[in-house]
Amino acid sequence: MRLDAMDVSLLTLLQREGRLTNAELAERAGLSASACHRRVRALEQAGVIDGYVALLNAEAVGRGLTVLVLVTLENQRRETMQAFETAVEQVEEVMDCYLTTGAEDYLLRLMVRDARDYERVHRERLSGLPGVARLVSNIAMRKVFTRTAMPLSAGQAGSATRKAGSGA
């Protein structure tokens, strides 16, 4: 889907405030409510907007500590990797998992309560994951910043053409 300047405005606003009312969104973007509504629906149906979520305060829900874990597998056979990936997704403290280039195989981002909680997760969950040869844990001493909003520019297109509609 090709995005014009108005789409970029709408997406930029919704990336910051996903619960703007359609009327408010329209006004800020300088568009009528009906046109705005139709554009947003089109962006949702084209899969440009993947969904809407509430972001919680990590401290407030007892997950104030982020830990970044580098994982090295015993080998890189397809079955080994598949088994690891399936198992790691079951660990609810793991927020993201990337297969990476470099010396290690995977990078995980975990959110836990505190160091003591991480010790528990490491012992009860991570160390038992299949195929793991080595785990290197890097504690995030401080979150310098985190974003969910991607900066956009008009004219750029991708390959998404599905008809999804998850969190609308």
Partner DNA sequence: CAAAAAACGCAAGAATCTTGCGCAATATGC
Partner DNA sequence: GCATATTGCGCAAGATTCTTGCGTTTTTTG
**15, 18, 28, 33: which one contacts DNA (CB under 7 A)?**
33
**Count of residues touching DNA (by CB under 7 A):** 15
- Contact between 13 and DNA by CB under 7 A: the answer reads no
Q: Specify the stretch interacting with DNA by CB under 7 A; choose among 37-45, 54-62, 91-99, 106-114.
A: 37-45
Tell me the two tokens of residue 31.
């568009």
Binding of residue 28 to DNA (CB under 7 A) = no
Residue 42, CA distances (Å) to 9, 52, 125, 143, 161 in order:
14, 15, 42, 35, 11
Q: Does 87 bind DNA (CB under 7 A)?
A: no
Identify residues 40-69 at the interface with DNA (CB under 7 A).
41
Site residues (CB under 8 A) for a second copy?
1, 3, 11, 14-19, 46-64, 66, 68, 85, 88-89, 92, 95-102, 104, 106-107, 111, 136, 138-152, 156-160, 166-168
Residue 78: burial class (beta carbons within 10 Å; 0-12, 13-18, 19+) = exposed
Measured distance CA(16)–CA(35) in Å, rounded: 20
For residues 124-142, one letter each, b for 16 or more C-beta atoms within 10 angstroms of the residue's C-beta and e for the rest, the string is ebbeebbbbeebeeeeeee
Interface residue with DNA among 5, 16, 17, 21 (CB under 7 A) is 21
Residue 29 contacts residue 13 (beta carbons within 8 Å): yes
Stretch that binds DNA, among 18-26, 49-57, 85-93, 140-148 (CB under 7 A): 18-26
Beta-carbon count within 10 A of 122 CB: 18
Judged by the rule CB under 7 A, the positions of this chain that interact with DNA are: 6, 21-24, 31-39, 41
